[in-house]
């Protein structure tokens, strides 16, 4: 037992982290996590729009990790159906009526380039421009059924984030990168 | 016989009601299912057939309180289809039902409405 859970718990408390999930993410599992998060948000005395933004960012981030995580595995569910899982970590912190959400997962250099380009672009857009861009991309995808929905989820995250999306890529020994995304949600929405 | 489908809501899927006799469809609740296209397959099949038929009116109450980005695309697709078939003799009414504090749904309804010239698209904000 080298892992000190008491110290870990204290560390989370010191950083105002209220919710944490680390491990495999799979499409069907997001439902259960979402339900837990929803219940947790009901305890916070914040406007509906803020908790709804946290919820929406959570759903899109989970799908984002599902899609981009380079640490994938295949497991059999209880019904014997094979499901693809992606490894990732999600944390939600609350401090001074501000939510902060952070996710981490391993990505390939190619995914890193795509993510970097998209987030950098989104960070140049204001609330109104993001709304227009979302709609424009949605219309474009409707005309192209082959598209796998790339990008719309990230735009939704940017729309709900009160500040520009912060991110970081760290080089790993195996040629892959560790991707961290950081989103802040304040009362009153995007600045 | 007129088609009827009723499905209770679950964590990530909405309540669904199709009542062909009443020329009516309703969605209510939250929708962020991983396979939203699969979930709405039968709904879409019925909708395609109904819209292509010689109908006179159709009402769609959309009271979804939250949906994720992949559901947004599916819903847009449904609405564009309705808009395509709607005319003076084939009247399609869409009631976009939400609450004032639901910014995501209010904005989404407004954005959808802009492109639906043939629909009677009502924003019903409670």
For chain A, list the domains and their CATH numbers. Answer: 5-186 (3.30.565.10)
A188 burial via Cβ count (<10 Å: 0-12, 13-18, 19+): exposed
CATH number (domain holding residue B40): 3.30.750.24
The number of folded domains in chain B is: 1
- B100 shares contact with chain A (CB less than 8 Å): no
ipTM of this predicted structure: 0.91
Residues A43, A36: Cα–Cα separation, whole Å: 12
Q: Are B82 and B60 in contact (CB under 8 A)?
A: yes
Which domain covers residue B117, as residue numbers? 4-125
End-to-end CA, chain B: 36
pLDDT (tens digit per residue) in B41-58: 999 999 999 999 999 999
Q: Report which of B82, B85, B84, B70 is spatially closest to residue B33, judged by C-alpha positions.
A: B70
- Nearest-neighbour CA in chain A from B116: distance (Å): 13
Contact A55 B66 (CB under 8 A): yes
- B69 shares contact with chain A (CB less than 8 Å): yes
Q: Report which of A89, A31, A32 is spatially closest to residue A61, judged by C-alpha positions.
A: A89
* Predicted model pTM: 0.93
The label of the residue with tokens 């709304």 reads A131
Q: How does residue B18 score in pLDDT terms, banded at 50, 70 and 90?
A: very high
- B84 shares contact with chain A (CB less than 8 Å): no
């Amino acid at each position: 037992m080298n892992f000190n859970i008491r110290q870990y718990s204290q560390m989370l408390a010191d950083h105002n982290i209220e919710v944490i999930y680390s491990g495999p993410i799979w499409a069907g599992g997001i439902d259960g996590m979402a339900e837990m998060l929803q219940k947790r948000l009901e305890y916070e005395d914040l406007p509906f729009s803020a908790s709804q933004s946290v919820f929406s960012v959570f759903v899109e981030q989970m799908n984002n990790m599902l899609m981009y995580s380079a640490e994938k595995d295949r497991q059999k569910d209880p019904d014997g159906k094979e499901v693809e899982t992606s490894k990732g970590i999600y944390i939600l912190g609350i401090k001074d009526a501000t939510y902060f959400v952070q996710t981490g997962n391993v990505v390939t250099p190619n995914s890193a380039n795509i993510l970097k380009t998209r987030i950098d672009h989104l960070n140049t857009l204001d609330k109104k421009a993001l709304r227009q861009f979302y709609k424009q991309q949605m219309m474009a995808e409707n005309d192209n059924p082959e598209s796998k929905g790339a990008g719309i989820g990230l735009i939704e995250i940017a729309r709900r984030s009160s500040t520009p999306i912060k991110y970081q890529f760290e080089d790993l020994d195996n040629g892959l990168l560790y991707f961290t995304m950081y989103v802040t949600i304040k009362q009153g929405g995007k600045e | 016989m007129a088609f009827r489908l009723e499905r209770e809501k679950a964590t990530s899927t909405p309540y669904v009601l199709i009542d062909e006799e009443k020329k009516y469809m309703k969605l209510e609740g939250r929708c962020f299912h991983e396979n939203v296209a699969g979930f709405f397959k039968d709904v879409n099949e019925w909708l395609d057939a109904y819209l292509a038929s010689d109908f006179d009116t159709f009402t769609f109450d959309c009271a979804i309180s939250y949906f994720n980005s992949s559901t947004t695309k599916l819903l847009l697709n449904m609405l564009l289809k309705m808009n395509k078939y709607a005319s003076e003799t084939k009247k399609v009414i869409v009631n976009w039902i939400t609450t004032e504090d639901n910014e995501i749904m209010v904005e989404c309804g407004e954005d959808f409405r802009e492109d639906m010239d043939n629909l009677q698209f009502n924003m019903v904000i409670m």
